[in-house]
């Protein structure tokens, strides 16, 4: 039998996008989507570490019921800054700006994104937002919660609200630019033969994400602007004492921030589709259902923001409509989970690290999504809103889901991005530690929330301590687990085994070029005659170690 | 504190068990699907593990039948959750008849409460078992949230408007009261307790804590000192301004056309921002009292106007507007089309 990876590759060349040009300037002025992806990778990792340190501070404080480790003012800043950094500066850009940036052109057979300069600009905009935010943190920090609820944020908080808001405002433009770039690229830059329904699902999910980015982000920009305006000028928009309406702010905030949770998770779903298909060597079950469910999520995600406001003075009928729509929007996510699971039926499953993360994702995302139903259901939400149950729910989605997908994707494409292999044994070990640590951290919080522990509490009654001790123990394991990949990724860049062009033996376009790829990605524009995940020709029943379409490849 | 490790909070209100029942149903479904998915995954992962490095499984075509099944079944299950959750919620917000009323003002970082019978409390609320208690709440500064886990209910306490919630305690005891909406520095210190007593003990507590005037009486004095009487008549019978007697709970025709239900939120707005909704047949002559009366005093004025039901001065059993209309708007602020606080 002919080994899978033996299809012909362009003559292995020593020149690739990493060594084609040298020097700091060649990086800072690069228009190569792959290099920009690495710039993003470096900067979001930096923010992830800051956010992670805040997280550990939160967990340390909550180890004991009394507020003995931090002052309450410090604690309030710590959880606020944890949220702001993790959401706006890590999770929202994470998968799109690194993996998406690197892979979308490669997956559709393009040389670059449609607007390489705008792509570089988006990184600088991100950096500018980040630097302003870091300035705000160093100057004194911000204590409003990442949700910036008014009138606390506009009138009462004595912290760097405007500076932080400006950081978020500017950062939003980098999302918009990235989204715009992806949409235009996917529309106009697909290689010959790469039809919409031949695209990897990763591209579909990024397309959906981009829609949310360009339609939703302007709303948060306006909201933050109004907030800053009221804070600076004293004109009443949200403060009732000045004639404003504080609840209006929540509507505006969640109109963006609910769709934003899908900005965070949809790219992850795209990664998972890739991992599941490729590490089981199987075409995704129900490809078009998985593809369209992303679009459905993007569209209907805009209609459910009111589920964050069931305990505000919102009318009962509005509450019911938002509740109904929230249940409805859960269905496309369920469809994905079922299709991923079905894909594994009669497949050939490898236990490589990326697959471990993908399997972890499905389990954790299921729990995250199902517990969302507790919060979409009106009567239970009234009790659970603003408790640790909510905290556990969104961490299951954002860490158990989006972060696991990001890590899985990073392992999967690491050989392509860096030309080096990570150590597989350590990879599996790290994935396991992260999984265990994660569950120990957040599972107890569901119960703590149901028995009534409010979120954003610096000190709490002693009966909640058991769950907090478990959670802090879990967080230590999780923190340690996260260090493992951090260390070996850095290590592998120098000492890792050189990666082949196609180390996983896969049919995707990104694997049909050398690792790391040349600056222009492909020596010749590929002509695509196969479907995504076409390991074997559809009409074939038995296995052959050859890709359909290989012969037609123009090289 | 219980000696075992709690997994559900204490259950002390008439709807705690309803919320618990729904919660257990949701937990059951969650457990079922989590086990179903992870069980299937584990089974597949073992059963279909890669046995030889170069094997390629047969491709599989999708199935519309299966897709339909796993779209429709979850949707139906989701709808059971929706309907169940919405119906319990609906009950929770149907304003009760014959409730004891308590006025609540939240401020950074304490709860000030006053019973209709005059007793004042801070960070503590005494209520009898088996009686419905309705809270009329507002905030002096930022948004807070009145949360009693043992009652399975909470509601935001919002500056510039009234919100209400109600409960009926079923078990004597002392329960946590938390502020559940982040409100600044000492948010986690904005806690207190709700003390549920047997009715006899509660009556004793009430009579042992007289002291202050009832809100309605205090409101009556304010009514005189602030000069409301000059336009609305010495006891609310009307004059240059409309009569206030018997106003509460009725439909008021507005100069701009349309009507509005005179609930607590409307009365509050009429005092703070009289021009927002002009009563039909009257000019915009009432001065605003914004900044001249505190939230406490506003509540007293409202309590007084509510007490002007033609009958005596004791607070009569409220017949909240919303009970009359089909819309049990959970906030006192009037429902669409016109938000009451502008
Ligand atoms: C799929 C990706 C999802 C993500 C990333 C996500 C994320 C989040 C986040 C960040 C919050 C908390 C916001 C805050 O208060 O700070 C939240 C709350 C909430 N989520 Fe999700 N969620 C997801 C899915 C769902 C689903 C499928 C549902 C329901 C069908 C749902 C229902 C809710 C509700 C109702 C709340 C508000 C809870 C409350 O504050 O009372 N979520 N979610
Ligand atoms: Cu949401
Ligand atoms: Cu608070």
* Domain contains B56: no
Q: Residue B49: left (phi > 0), alpha (psi -120 to 50), or beta?
A: beta
Non-local (6+) Cβ contacts of B65 within 8 A are none
For residue A261, the ligand 1 atom closest to its alpha carbon is 5
Report the C-alpha gap between B251 and B261 in whole angstroms.
Answer: 5
User: What is the Cα–Cα distance from A38 to A417, expressed in whole angstroms?
Assistant: 8
Instruction: Looking at the structure, tell me whether residues B65 and B141 fall in a common domain.
Output: no
The verdict on B78 and B165 lying in the same domain is no
Predicted complex ipTM:
0.91
Q: Whose CA is nearest to atom 43 of ligand 1?
A: A394
Residue B110 maps to a domain? yes
Q: Is B33 on the interface with A (CB under 8 A)?
A: yes
Q: Which residues from A are below 8 Å from B19, CB to CB?
A: 379-380, 382-383
Indicate yes or no: CB of B182 within 8 angstroms of CB of A145.
yes
Give a yes or no: residue A18 inside a domain: no
Residue of A90, A147, A307, A402 best suited for mutating to test ligand 1, as the one with most atoms within 8 Å of CB: A307
Same domain assignment for residues B198 and B236:
no
With H, G, I as helix, E, B as strand and everything else as coil, classify residue A436: helix
A4 located within any domain = no
Domain that holds residue A437: 32-554
> What is residue A6's predicted lDDT score, i.e. its pLDDT?
40
3-state helix/strand/coil string of A38-84: HHHHHHHHHHHHHHHHHHHHHHHHCCCCCCCCCCHHHHHHHHHHHHH
Q: Do the chains contact at B178 and A452, CB–CB below 8 Å?
A: yes
A511 assigned to some structural domain? yes
Ligand 3 centroid to Cα of residue A76, in Å, is 12
How far does the centroid of ligand 3 lie from the alpha carbon of residue A398, in Å? 25
Given this model, what pLDDT does residue A41 score? Answer: 97
C-alpha A221/C-alpha A16 separation (Å) is: 39
DSSP B12-43: -BTTHHHHHHHHHHHHHHHHHHHHHHHHHHHH
A482 CB near ligand 1 (under 6 Å): no
DSSP code per residue over B118-133: S-EEESEEEEETTSEE
**CA–CA dist A268, A96 (Å, integer):** 9
**Number of separate domains in chain B:** 3
In a domain, B301, yes or no: yes
A330 C-beta closer than 6 A to ligand 1? yes
Mutate to test the interface with A, among B4, B35, B70, B72 (most CBs of A within 10 A): B70
Chain A, residues 364-393, CB within 8 A of chain B, namely 366-367, 370-371, 373-374, 376-383, 385-387
What is residue B4's predicted lDDT score, i.e. its pLDDT? 65
Residue of B6, B82, B152 lying closest to A323 (CB–CB):
B82
For residue B36, the enclosing domain spans 1-47+61-92
The verdict on residue B150 lying in a domain is yes
**Whether B88 and B104 share a structural domain:** no
Find the closest chain A residue to B294 by CA distance: A241
Q: What is the pLDDT of residues B38-82, one digit of tens each?
A: 999 999 999 999 998 888 888 888 888 999 999 999 999 999 999
Chain B residues close to A319, C-beta within 8 Å: 89, 330
A window 199-258, beta carbon within 8 A of B:
239-241, 243, 245-247
Is A13 inside any structural domain? no
B184 backbone φψ class: left, alpha, beta (φ>0; ψ -120 to 50): left
Domain co-membership, B201 together with B295: no
- The protein residues having their C-beta less than 5 angstroms from ligand 2 (an ion) are A 258
Mark whether B232 and B161 lie in a shared domain. Answer: no
Is the Cβ atom of A390 under 6 angstroms away from ligand 1? yes
Task: Give B261 to chain A, closest Cα distance, Å.
Answer: 15
Give the chain B residue whose CA is nearest to the CA of A531: B59
Peptide bond into B98 cis (omega under 30): no
User: Contact, A70 vs A78, CB < 8 A?
Assistant: yes
Nearest CA to ligand 1 atom 41: A385
B65 contact A CB<8A: no
Question: Is A26 a domain residue?
Answer: no
Does A543 sit within 8 Å of B160, measured CB to CB?
no
pLDDT, tens digit only, all 342 positions of chain B: 444 678 899 999 998 999 999 999 999 999 999 999 999 999 999 999 999 888 888 888 888 899 999 999 999 999 999 999 999 999 888 888 889 999 999 999 999 999 988 888 999 999 999 999 999 999 999 999 999 999 999 999 999 999 999 999 999 999 999 999 999 999 999 999 999 999 999 999 988 877 678 888 888 889 988 888 888 888 888 888 898 888 888 888 888 888 888 888 899 889 988 888 889 888 888 988 888 888 888 888 999 998 887 543 344 333 333 333 333 333 333 333 333 332
Residues 6+ apart with CB under 8 A from A244: A150, A151, A230, A236, A237, A238
- Is the domain of B105 the same as that of B162? yes
* Whether residue B234 sits in one domain with residue B199: no
Cβ-contact A156, B141 below 8 angstroms:
yes
Contact (CB<8Å) A382/B336: no
CATH number at residue B69: 1.10.287.90
Is residue B199 included in any domain, yes or no?
yes
Could you give the CA distance from residue B6 to residue B263 in angstroms, rounded to a whole number? Answer: 41
Closest C-alpha to ligand 1, atom 37: A308
Closest ligand 1 atom to A83 CA? 16
Instruction: Answer whether A449 contacts ligand 1 (Cβ < 6 A).
Output: no
CATH of residue B155: 2.60.40.420
Interchain CB distance below 8 Å, B54 and A466: no
Pairing of strands B132-139, B100-107: parallel
Q: Is A494 on the interface with B (CB under 8 A)?
A: no
List the CATH number of the domain containing B274: 1.10.760.10
Are B87 and B105 members of one domain? no
Q: Which of A242, A358, A380 best probes binding to B when mutated, by most B CB atoms within 10 angstroms?
A: A380
Distance (Å, whole) CA A32 – CA A30 = 5
Which among B149, B180, B207 is the end of a domain? B207
B157 CA distance to ligand 1 centroid (A)?
22
Q: Count the domains in chain A.
A: 1
Q: Which ligand is nearest to the CA of B110?
A: 3
Among the candidates B207, B225, B244, a domain finishes at B207
In a domain, A1, yes or no: no
Residue A19 falls inside a structural domain: no
Residue A464 contacts by C-beta under 8 Å, 6 or more apart in sequence?
A65, A448, A451, A453
Nearest-angstrom CA–CA distance, A320 and A379:
11
The best mutation among A397, A406, A449, A456 to test binding of ligand 1, ranked by most ligand atoms within 8 Å of the C-beta, falls on A397
3-state helix/strand/coil string of A252-289? HHHHHHHHHHHHHHHHHHHHHHHHHHHHHCCCCCCHHH
- Residues lower than pLDDT 70 in chain A: 1-13, 538-555
B223 and B334 share one domain: yes
The answer, yes or no, to whether any atom of ligand 1 lies below 6 A from the CB of A260, is no
- Stretch 141-200 of chain A: residues touching chain B, C-beta under 8 Å: 143, 145, 147, 149, 151-152, 155-157
Is residue B240 located within the same domain as residue B320? Answer: yes
Widest CA span in chain B: 96
- DSSP-assigned letter for residue B212: S
Of B165, B186, B207, the one marking the end of a domain is B207
Residue B171 lies in a domain: yes
Atom of ligand 1 nearest to the CA of A329: 30
Position A12 scores a pLDDT of: 54
Peptide bond into B109 cis (omega under 30): yes
CATH number for the domain spanning A206: value is 1.20.210.10
- Looking at all shown ligands, the one closest to residue A322's CA atom is 1
């Amino acid at each position: 039998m002919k080994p899978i990876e033996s299809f012909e590759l362009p003559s292995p060349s020593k020149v690739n996008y990493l060594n084609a040009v040298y020097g700091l300037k060649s990086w800072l002025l690069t228009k190569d989507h792959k290099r920009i992806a690495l710039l993003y990778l470096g900067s979001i990792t930096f923010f992830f570490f800051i956010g992670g340190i805040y997280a550990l501070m939160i967990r340390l404080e909550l180890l004991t019921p009394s507020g003995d480790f931090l002052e309450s003012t410090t604690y309030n800043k710590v959880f606020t800054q944890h949220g702001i950094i993790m959401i706006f500066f890590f999770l929202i850009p994470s998968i799109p700006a690194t993996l998406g940036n690197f892979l979308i052109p490669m997956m559709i057979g393009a040389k670059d994104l449609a607007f390489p300069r705008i792509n570089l600009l988006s990184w600088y905009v991100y950096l500018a937002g980040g630097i302003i935010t870091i300035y705000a943190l160093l100057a004194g920090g911000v204590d409003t919660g990442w949700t910036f609820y008014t009138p606390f944020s506009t009138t009462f908080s004595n912290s760097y609200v405007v500076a932080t808001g400006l950081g978020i405002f500017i950062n939003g433009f980098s999302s918009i630019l990235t989204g715009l770039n992806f949409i235009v690229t996917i529309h106009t830059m697909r290689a010959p033969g790469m039809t919409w329904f031949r695209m990897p699902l990763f591209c579909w999910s990024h397309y959906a994400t981009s829609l949310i980015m360009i339609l939703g982000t302007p709303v948060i920009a306006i909201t933050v602007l109004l907030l800053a305006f009221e804070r600076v000028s004293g004109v009443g928009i949200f403060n009732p004492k000045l004639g404003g309406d504080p609840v209006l702010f929540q509507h505006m905030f969640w109109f963006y921030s609910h769709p934003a949770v899908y900005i965070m998770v949809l790219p992850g779903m795209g990664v998972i589709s890739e991992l599941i298909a490729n590490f089981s060597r199987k075409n995704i079950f129900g490809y078009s259902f998985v593809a369209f469910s992303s679009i459905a999520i993007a569209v209907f995600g805009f209609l459910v923001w009111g589920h964050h406001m069931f305990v505000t003075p919102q009318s009962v009928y509005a509450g019911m409509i938002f509740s109904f729509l929230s249940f409805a929007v859960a269905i496309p996510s369920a469809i994905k989970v079922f299709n991923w699971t079905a894909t594994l039926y009669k497949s050939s499953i490898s236990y490589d690290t990326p697959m471990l993360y993908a399997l972890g994702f499905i389990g954790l995302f299921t729990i995250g999504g199902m517990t969302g139903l507790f919060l979409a259901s009106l009567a239970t939400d009234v009790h659970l809103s603003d408790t640790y149950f909510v905290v556990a729910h969104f961490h299951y989605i954002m860490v158990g889901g989006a972060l696991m997908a990001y890590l899985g994707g990073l392992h999967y494409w690491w050989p392509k991005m860096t030309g080096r292999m990570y150590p597989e044994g350590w990879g599996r070990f790290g994935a396991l530690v992260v999984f265990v640590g994660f569950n120990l951290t957040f599972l107890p919080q569901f119960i703590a929330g149901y028995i009534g522990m409010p979120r954003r509490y610096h000190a709490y009654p002693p009966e909640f301590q058991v769950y907090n001790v478990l959670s802090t123990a879990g967080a230590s394991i999780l923190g340690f687990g996260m260090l493992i990949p951090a260390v070996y990724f850095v290590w592998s860049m120098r000492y890792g085994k050189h990666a082949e062009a196609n180390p996983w033996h896969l049919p995707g376009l990104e694997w049909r070029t050398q690792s790391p790829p040349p600056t222009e990605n492909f020596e010749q524009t590929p002509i695509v005659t196969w479907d995504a995940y076409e390991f074997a020709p559809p009409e074939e029943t038995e296995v052959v170690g050859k890709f359909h379409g290989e012969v037609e490849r123009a090289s | 504190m219980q000696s075992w490790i709690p997994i559900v909070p204490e259950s002390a209100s008439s709807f705690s068990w309803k919320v618990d029942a729904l919660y257990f149903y949701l937990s059951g479904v969650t457990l079922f699907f989590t086990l179903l998915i992870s069980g299937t995954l584990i089974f597949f992962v073992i059963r279909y593990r890669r046995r030889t490095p170069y094997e390629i499984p047969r491709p599989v075509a999708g199935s519309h039948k299966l897709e339909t099944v796993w779209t429709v079944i979850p949707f139906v299950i989701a709808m059971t959750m929706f309907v169940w959750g919405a119906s319990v919620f609906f009950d929770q917000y149907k304003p009760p008849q014959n409730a004891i009323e308590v006025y609540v003002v939240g401020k950074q970082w304490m709860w000030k409460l006053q019973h209709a019978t005059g007793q004042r409390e801070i960070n503590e609320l005494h209520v009898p078992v088996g009686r419905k208690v309705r809270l009329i709440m507002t905030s002096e500064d930022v948004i807070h949230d009145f949360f009693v886990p043992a009652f399975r209910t909470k509601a935001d306490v919002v500056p510039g408007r009234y919100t209400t919630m109600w409960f009926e305690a079923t078990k004597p005891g002392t329960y946590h009261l938390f502020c559940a909406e982040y409100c600044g520095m000492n948010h986690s210190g904005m806690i207190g307790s709700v003390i549920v007593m047997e009715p006899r003990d509660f009556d004793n507590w009430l009579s042992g804590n007289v002291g202050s005037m009832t809100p309605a009486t205090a409101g009556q004095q304010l009514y005189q000192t602030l000069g409301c009487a000059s336009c609305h008549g010495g006891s609310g019978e009307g004059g240059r301004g409309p009569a206030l007697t018997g106003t509460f709970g009725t439909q008021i025709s507005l100069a701009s056309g349309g009507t509005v239900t005179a609930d607590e939120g409307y009365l509050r707005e009429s005092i703070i921002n009289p021009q927002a909704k002009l009563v039909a047949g009257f000019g915009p002559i009432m001065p605003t009292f914004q900044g001249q009366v505190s939230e406490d005093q506003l509540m007293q004025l409202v309590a007084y106007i509510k007490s002007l039901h033609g009958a005596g001065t004791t607070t009569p059993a409220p017949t909240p507007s919303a009970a009359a209309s089909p819309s049990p708007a959970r906030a006192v602020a009037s429902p669409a089309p016109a938000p009451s606080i502008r």
